[in-house]
Amino acid sequence: MHLDSSLPTGKVGLCRGPMMAASDNFEITIAGKGGHAARPHDCLDPVTAAAQIIMGLQTIVSRKVDPVHPAVVTVGKIRAGSKHNIIPQEAILIGTARTIDPYSTKMMPLWIRQLAEGIARANGLKARVGYERGYPVLFNDPDMVDFCEKAIASRYGKKAPVRITQPMMGGEDMAYFLQKVPGAFLRLGSRQGRETAFPWHHPKFSIDEKSLSLGAGILTEIALNFLSQ
């Protein structure tokens, strides 16, 4: 179970099949030749190449991934330079790749490496790509989702469970458990007014604390229903 501010308190999101994406991390180091910002012709600027790579990464999603499958490539951290008048020796891009279908998950490291190395080479630089596998796709067992939905509805009413038809692109380590045992991952509504409407990782993220006791009750109800079978 995970808190979800996109749902109001009292609602529980359920999704059959793939619910969350495979979540991988990458780091791209672009090696150039530093120097004075006023003499770029004497340098090999890794910042310019880094900017091109950041934009180019978005073509992976739009041109490599089958349009019917969701995917995300995001650069969340850029590290380069120390002064306004210095072209740095290197630039580092750190980001994440999120995929649902197995083929895109398999190919993503190659696609990122080809793009980064190609753009760097076109600028006379070198790029080194590190790629780390993270969590696999989180797959909810359809029968367990139906079971949880009935248990929640029996205790909290038919309007409490909400069916989610599309997977979200976050990653979750619960995926490992669901590879071994059939189960379901739930999204617990935690929004109550404007102060609790901010999404995950937002600096103002907050929750309606009433949702915590509700979540405990829901898990208890599901467990009791399961044990009474």
Q: 206, 226, 202, 146: which is closest to 9 by C-alpha?
A: 206
Is pLDDT above 90 for 193? no
| Average pLDDT for the chain | 95
Burial degree of 175 (CB within 10 A; 0-12, 13-18, 19+): buried
Is pLDDT above 90 for 192? no
* Rounded Cα distance, 115 and 61, in Å: 12
Set out the domains of the chain in order of their start, with CATH numbers. 2-20+138-227 (3.40.630.10), 22-135 (3.30.70.360)
Cα–Cα distances in angstroms (integers) from residue 105 to residues 23, 90, 97, 136, 180, in the given order: 9, 28, 9, 9, 20
* Rounded Cα distance, 174 and 43, in Å: 48
Place of tokens 């308190």: 9
User: Catalytic site residues?
Assistant: 135, 209
Mean pLDDT of 129-153: 97
Mean pLDDT of 32-43: 97
Is pLDDT above 90 for 196? no
Q: Is the dihedral of CA 146, 151, 157, 161 positive or negative?
A: negative
Mean pLDDT of 39-63: 98
| CB count in 10 Å sphere of residue 149 | 21
Is pLDDT above 90 for 194? no
Q: Are 72 and 98 in contact (CB under 8 A)?
A: yes
Is pLDDT above 90 for 229? no
How much is the pLDDT for 195? 79
Is pLDDT above 90 for 57? yes
How much is the pLDDT for 77? 98
Cα–Cα distances in angstroms (integers) from residue 158 to residues 5, 145, 164, 185, in the given order: 20, 14, 15, 19
Please report which confidence band the pLDDT of residue 124 belongs to, taking 50, 70 and 90 as the band edges: very high
Q: What is the pLDDT of residues 198-226, one digit of tens each?
A: 888 888 888 888 999 999 999 999 999 99
203 contact partners, CB below 8 Å, separation of at least 6 = none
